Chain A
Amino acid sequence: MIEHSLKDSVLPALGSPLAKRRRAWREFKDRCAKYGVAVGGMAVIFAIVLIFFYLLSVVIPLFHGAQMDVEAAYEVEANSSSYLTLNEYNDVALSLNMQGQVRFFAAQDGHTLLEPQLPLPSDVDISSFSKGAPSTGVFAYGFVDGRALVFKQAYKISYPEDKRLITPRIDYPLDQDLLVVDADGAALQLLSVQSNEEQTTLAAVTADHRLVINSIVREQDFMDEDLFTIEQTSSSVALSALTQVTHVQMDIDQRELYLVDNTGMIAYYDISDVAAPRLVQHVKAVPAGVAITTVEFLTGGISILVGRSDGQIDQWFPVRDQDNNYTLHKVRSFHEQYAEIVAIAPEYSRKGFVALDADGLVGIYHTTAERTLLVEPLVVDDAVMALSPRANGLLSVTRSGQAKLLTIDNEHPEVSWHSLWEEVWYESRDKPEHIWQSSSASNDFEPKFSLTPLTFGTIKAAFYAMAVAVPLGIFGAIYTAYFMSASMRKVVKPTIEIMEALPTVILGFLAGLWLAPIVEGNLPGVFSILIMLPVMTVLTAYLWSRIPSRLRNQIPDGWEAAILVPVVIMVGVVSMMMSPTLELWLFDGNMPQWLNEVGIDFDQRNSLVVGLVMGFAVIPTIFSITEDAIFGVPKHLTIGSLALGATPWQTLTRVVLLTASPGIFSAVMIGLGRAVGETMIVLMATGNTPIMDFNIFEGFRALSANIAVEMPEAEVASSHYRVLFLAALVLFMVTFIFNTVAEVIRQRLRNKYSSL
């Protein structure tokens, strides 16, 4: 029989070549599968791990310092320049000197592009020079006869044959005539100029110790564009002859003026009314023995940077006090250079600057972030330098004529540990604060990248959500796992668990548009629900124990939850109905308004709403895991305890909960992870204002919602973009750590159970 079947078998004989070939083929397939699966599996795991490393790779450049490389070095005429500028593309530079010579030259090799002749008076000497804010490109020469010439650099960019061609020229905002700054005709020893479309202001210190201010307002006629009305205002203030003013600086808006003298005093003038300059403050800015060597405005014209003879650089700005008075404050200092600061070049659009000291070291700083990005030797001689508008190029020319063009790689100076997490004193603020304000329409805006208020918002949301979810989830799970009758459990457990799959966008929508107005309108009712629910539950329980046992036995143990359902509904309905009456009695008819009067801010979309709804979203997670943990406690433990005479409640608290506590802990951790990362609910149910206040009646802005709102608008690879990635990385790490701890504990628990 067997032989017969062998003979008829479709299989080839064991040792035949065909069988060998087939076996080899099968072995080959087996091996293919093995390697295929291994490669595929590892690829998937790699892809998942990639998330972390990708986020990290986007974030890391934030913390890179700056880097400087020499692009070109050449020689120019010695002593030829006392001031330099560099254009946007790092290719055209402008040099000016005290002889009134102006020269545009190629920044790459120094050859002259244009040497315009300024309309200088032939018989009068230049006594001072001033430059406006770098972004305006305005300059002025002051003369010994009290007059001044204002001029401006301008670049015309054209693209003949698709190649960029830059044609420099000099413009005259006030025409080519000289402007009389000091009517008395004293020499202008120090000069400061600012000019914009409408207004040009010059401030000068004269040889006879006076401060003269001159402002020219050009107003265009409504009807005719070529018609202007010109209005000139001037004033003169006598200065002390005992000290020598060394620096005069006017802000870009032509409202503030700073005078620095050789004793280290700063005089802060308010010149918004040019006719009547007002001395706001006179402040000693440096300790004795230290002199102020450089004063420059930071971009935006609010802060001044004070370079000192000991190499320290201080940032000062006016701060408003309670009475609306402004006083100068020293906000922060950088002391990374130790020789006299000879020049400071502010960046055009960021709150950073470059400082050069007498030892030839150059330092790159950022004020808001309090970061020193680089300190490096640059030159060995006295030098002037220019920073390009994009802050990616630096040109320096020494007195002996050594010119150097450098490229700067400094993409993200505005972010540091300090600016992300600590209190930062921002410009125009009265104290150091945590602020998130990533963008604004203005160009010289100081970005405020503090993740602290956002993290605070996330924690606040998670806290209130957990305050709702933990008791409900855990108590509910205890009851379901331990007391509830099996038939009811079969219905209850999936019902609650299916809520885990409920899209949070729906919960967010309900929270924002349905629940928030209800809560606002029935605030006393909401609180009465919170108080009445436990009270009524216990009351019902007591009454239940009092009713005749004949009636009571109709419903078996384990159905208490069903009995309580109508009670819960009733409490809700009654509380809501009572709410207007309560409000009338206790809160003058309108509780939110009452709260405002008491001094508690109330938003319609507040943390209470988020807590309720997000708690609701987290309940299923906590419930499900806790229930599993309690239900998984070996039965012989509980039976043993009951057999020894413990009540079910004693058994629960002394045996079951102790055994299952790691599981419950992990449930809370996972629930917390979910609450921290939840986006749509916090996005839709709060006002998304980044405030730091634990008030339950106010909103907040969470990390996740902030990403969702700002990410689509962030410019790729900008600091803002990378900071948002950092926020995502923080969320990733936090939830990952929570979940890992929970998972490890759960596995331990599983091992414990199996050994019990």
Chain B
Amino acid sequence: MSNKSFSSWMKSGSPWVWLNAGAVSISLVMVVGLLLLIAVRGLSHFWPADIMAIPYTEPGKEVITLVGEAIDSEVVSAKQLSRVGIELPEGQASAERLLIKVGNRDYFGLDFRWINQPWMGEVSYPAELLAIERREWGEFYGYLSSVKQQGEIVVSGDAAFAELQHRLIRSNNLVGDIKSLAKNEMGKINAGLEELRLEKRKLELRSVADTSIQFAELAEAEKLLDVSYKDLQNKLAALYKELNRDQMMVVMSDGREVEIPLAKVVQALRPNAMTVFEKLVVYGHEIWKFVSGDPREANTEGGVFPAIFGTVMMVLIMAVLVTPFGVIAAVYLKEYATQGPIIRLIRIAVNNLAGVPSIVYGVFGLGFFVYFLGGNIDELFFQASLPSPTFGTPGLMWASLTLAILTVPVVIVATEEGLSRIPRAIREGSLALGATKAETLWRTVLPMAAPAMMTGLILAVARAAGEVAPLMMVGVVKLAPALAVDNIAPYLHLDRQFMHLGFHIYDVGFQSPNVEAARPLVYATALLLIVIIIVLNLAAIKIRNRLRENYKASES
């Protein structure tokens, strides 16, 4: 009886329906799981985790104390453990291994260390443990013993922490001053010097005699700049002297006491002594630093502001380029061109270009824009600075142009679709009232198609923001020395190379020497990029729906 009902159940096709449903479930679990994974890993990085102190005894060695943050753990079978020489007590099939971040890379050699549970003693969380974020060499964990000024101990003992915080504010301010001085003032002078060099070269190219007055003028200007350069150098030297005033003495987990200059310290926290609320404040601050700060240590630490800025700049320039051209092409295809087989062919071709691999656009951009167009622009307008190329090298402008070409089909297709949704009656009404075709287009059709154009644009932007492969050829670098916008004329430097969030992920995740230490940062960057792109996509959907409703209302 039950057998029969099973076969009839099989026959009903129900298992197939369920299998199909399973496909949806798997897809959903993968999608949501992936987003959760990135979100959790990306966000947890900034939480000031507690620092453990573990007595650790390797067989045949003395007890040492390990200090660090727990990162990961895994269960290892007894068999695998016995391969590395660990024998578990009888009856125990597996043991845990912990990955801890011990920091102090300059002293210990390695940031991370796997330790075996069976050898661990009682774990404690001493309140006075200090986590120091340094400008170089990564995290430092230890116990603060004293604060020094010019090598003389100022405070030691319990009061030292408060004094340290106080002095850290000062040193961080000084670091900020030095940075702005070096970047803005020095940068201006350097740009001025470079400009003078180019002027000189231009004169030489025009074969003006060395003795002419122009050369004298240039030399005069150069002298002036040199003087102010010296001035600035002195100022900087004074600031550096100020900065190097304070030091701190810290005891490491192995008992050694080391000196750390405050100039090298970003912040020093006692996470074990912090309340949840305090941690939340630090958490928020860390996220802000990540979004607004500059990268350090070959991009494996610090913030990603230049990458965010580069991504946004590139996408903005691309949007400015792609919108008018995409819309004009769509209007031409839909409204002006005689509809025939040729236009149909073009339409299919345009449609398909959206599916052409982005790397192909990168190759095209490199060959055509950078080497061909850029090379010719250099020949024509920037001869003085040759052989070092100005536009004949990958840069922001070429990246934006390449992505504009890559995304123009998206805009064309979306706009065309919008145009075809507009009822004939509206066009005919306008024409019947005596408006010309151009007026009809401009006053009635295009405004009604605006949501479609907007959608196309936003989809284009979302796609452009996530593309990496073509950018690797036409302008993205792992570390750009300067942003594309600064205080030196002409303020917007389209020829500069730039950083990009997506490339940042690739570079830090795969090209950096210390992948393990950089991994959390990559997750955070990935999260940032996903958030940007999903928000853009949702915005596209929202805008489309809203504007569509508006027009529906006006139509009725």
Contact = CB atoms under 8 A, between A and B. Distances in A.
Nearest to B94: A580
Nearest to B465: A503
Contacts of B368: 50, 54
Nearest to A55: B364
Interface residues of A, number: 115
Contacts of B353: 48, 51, 736
Contacts of A49: 349
A568 B22 contact: yes
A44, A48, A495, A743, most chain B CB atoms within 10 A: A44
Interface in A691-732: 704, 707-708, 711-712, 716, 724-725, 728-729, 731-732
A45 B346 contact: yes
Contacts of B358: 677, 679
B26 interface: yes
Interface stretch (B133-141, B150-158, B326-334, B378-386): B326-334
Interface in B45-95: 75, 77, 79-80, 94
Given A503-B529, A674-B355, A44 B326 contact: yes
Contact of A711 (B22, B408, B473, B522): B473
Interface in A465-491: 471-476, 478-480, 483-484
- Chain A interface, DSSP helix/strand/loop, else mixed: helix
A564 B330 CA distance: 45
Contacts of B165: none
Nearest to B13: A649
Contacts of B409: 48
A728 B366 CA distance: 12
Contact of A483 (B17, B467, B510): B17
B442 to A, nearest CB: 8
B328 to A, nearest CB: 4
B438 A29 contact: yes
B194 interface: no
A744 B466 CA distance: 29
Contact of B23 (A476, A501, A510): A476
Contacts of A683: 469, 506
B244 interface: no
A285 B355 CA distance: 55
Interface stretch (A31-39, A65-73, A100-108, A124-132): A31-39
Contacts of A237: none
B509 interface: yes
Interface stretch (A196-204, A398-406, A531-539, A632-640): A531-539
B91 to A, nearest CB: 16
B371 interface: yes
A724 B405 contact: no
B239 interface: no
A595 interface: no
Contacts of A513: 509-510, 515, 519, 522
A178 B164 CA distance: 82
Nearest to A712: B473
A548 to B, nearest CB: 15
Interface residues of B, number: 100
B352 A711 contact: no
Nearest to A34: B336
Given A503-B533, A704-B359, A542 B6 contact: yes
Contacts of A679: 357-359, 468-469
A27 B437 CA distance: 9
B336 to A, nearest CB: 5
Contacts of B127: none
Contact of B20 (A45, A55, A476, A647): A476
B28 interface: yes
Contacts of A744: 348
A494 interface: yes
A29 B436 contact: yes
Contact of B25 (A48, A503, A568, A743): A568
B546 to A, nearest CB: 16
Interface in A20-48: 26-27, 29-30, 32-34, 36-38, 40-45, 47-48
A40 B348 contact: no
A704 B472 CA distance: 12
Contacts of A647: 12-13
A495 B255 CA distance: 54
B333 A41 contact: yes
A650 B61 CA distance: 73
B163 to A, nearest CB: 42
23 contacts: A37-B331, A40-B332, A48-B350, A55-B364, A475-B20, A479-B20, A496-B27, A496-B31, A501-B462, A502-B530, A509-B526, A533-B22, A538-B18, A540-B18, A564-B25, A616-B34, A649-B17, A679-B358, A679-B359, A728-B359, A731-B357, A735-B357, A736-B355
Interface of B: 6, 9, 12-32, 34, 37-38, 75, 77, 79-80, 94, 325-326, 328-333, 335-337, 346, 348-353, 355-364, 366-368, 371, 405, 408-409, 412, 436-439, 441-442, 459, 462-463, 465-469, 472-473, 502-503, 505-506, 509-510, 515, 519, 522, 526, 529-530, 533-534, 537-538, 541
